[in-house]
Amino acid sequence: MCGSDAKEHIIMGRRLNSSQGRKPKSKIGITTTVMKCKGCGLVYANPMPIPTDIQAHYGVSPEGYWNQQYFEPGDSDFHEEIGKLKNMMEIKPGYKSLDIGAGIGKIMKTLEEAGFDSYGLEPSMPFYSEALKTPGIKPNNIKCSTIEDAEYPSEHFNFISFSAVLEHLYDPSAAIEKALGWLKPNGIIFIEVPSAKWLIGRLINMYYRLAGTDYVTNISPMHIPFHLYEFELESFQKNLKNKCEISGYEYFACPTHLPFKALDSVLTSYMEKTKTGMQLMLWLRKSSHLNN
């Protein structure tokens, strides 16, 4: 994201190709090294495991990839984000939106209901097939394609969303640059990614360290959900320098998933106060006077 050389980065530890649990040393599997960029805080796998075909990672049933909660109406429906977007942009008739990594089409549906002519890109064949069944989605508006292979006219969309997507892409910087090219001047990009400063991740790493191992819980480059990166605000500030403006950002704590329920509310409010929540959300605006 900042372009610095991996030789200057820090080795955090190693990550198994499965859930690690409390005793990762007792698990059979392969590991890759997890590193952190000293320049921008980006966390990544080195070497980066790449499947021969994208469907090897995402060609699974939606039920096998997401938990049951995802299929019920709720937080993942993008209603809160639409509320914030409306403070930044008036959605006029004919305005086009693009959801990159559309999944089963939940965000596309909400954007269509909010007044956009809603488009989407989804590389997984099973997720794409499911999205076609989602009410309110125009079949011609969704493509089964990776962002790397996709083509749209330049300055075509008023709003583009990367909701839990950039952490799955091998080159997130190139993906942002491509999306900026498709965005109209004054258009807005929404980004949601896992934060490299997540408190719970740091506590789990501390536990592994005290247990005498060099495992870390960051990312999941070889198993579901296949997260290849974690980001810091600085990763975007350095990446977007001279490209576009960050209009706003916030952290979202998310439930802790720890086996101690009583601690959940204490930790959640601590994460909110210290900006160490699980998810980082950013709003970018493409300036009308910059060429991308």
- Find the shortest distance in angstroms from Cβ 43 to Zn ion: 10
176, 198, 237 from 242: Cα distances, Å: 13, 28, 10
Scanning 2-10, 55-63, 102-110, 241-249 for contacts with Zn ion by CB under 5 A, the matching segment is 2-10
Task: Return the number of the residue (39 or 181) whose C-beta is nearest Zn ion.
Answer: 39
Rounded least distance, CB 171 to Zn ion, Å: 13
Q: Which of 40/85 has CB closer to Zn ion?
A: 40
The beta-strand segments (E) located in the chain are 10-16, 31-36, 43-45, 96-100, 117-121, 142-143, 157-163, 183-194, 229-230, 245-252, 279-285
Of 3-11, 123-131, 212-220, 250-258, which segment contacts Zn ion by CB under 5 A?
A: 3-11
* Tokens matching residue 95: 């305005």
Binders of Zn ion among residues 132 to 191 (CB under 5 A) are none
For the beta carbon of residue 69, count every other beta carbon within 10 angstroms.
9
Q: Would you call 162 helix, strand, or coil by DSSP?
A: strand
Closest CA to 124 of 55, 177, 25, 53: 55
**Nearest distance in Å: CB 173, Zn ion:** 10
Is the Cβ of residue 47 or residue 212 nearer to Zn ion in the bound state? 47
Q: In the complex, what is the shortest distance from the CB of residue 47 to Zn ion, in angstroms, rounded to a whole number?
A: 17
Helix (H, G, I), strand (E, B) or coil at 60: coil
Query: Which residue, 173, 239, 242, is CA-closest to 2?
Result: 239
Tokens of 29: 């599997």
Residue 271 within binding range of Zn ion, rule CB under 5 A? no
ω into residue 225 within 30 of 0, thus cis? yes
CB-CB neighbours of 197 under 10 Å: 20
Min dist CB 86 to Zn ion, Å, is 33
Residues 31-50 that bind Zn ion (CB under 5 A): 37, 39-40, 42
Among 30-38, 111-119, 200-208, 257-265, the segment contacting Zn ion (CB under 5 A): 30-38
- Residue 42 or residue 199: which is nearer to Zn ion going by CB? 42
Q: Residue 12 or 98: which CB sits closer to Zn ion?
A: 12
Cβ-based nearer residue to Zn ion, 68 or 242: 242
Give the interface size with Zn ion as a residue count (CB under 5 A): 6
Distance of CA 214 to the CA centre of its chain: 26
Subset of residues 85 to 114 that bind Zn ion, contact rule: CB under 5 A? none
In the complex, minimum distance from the CB of residue 70 to Zn ion, in angstroms, rounded to a whole number: 31
122 or 230: CB nearest Zn ion: 230
Give me the helix-helix angle, 261-274 and 199-210, nearest 10°. 120
Residues in contact with Zn ion by the rule CB under 5 A: 2, 4, 37, 39-40, 42
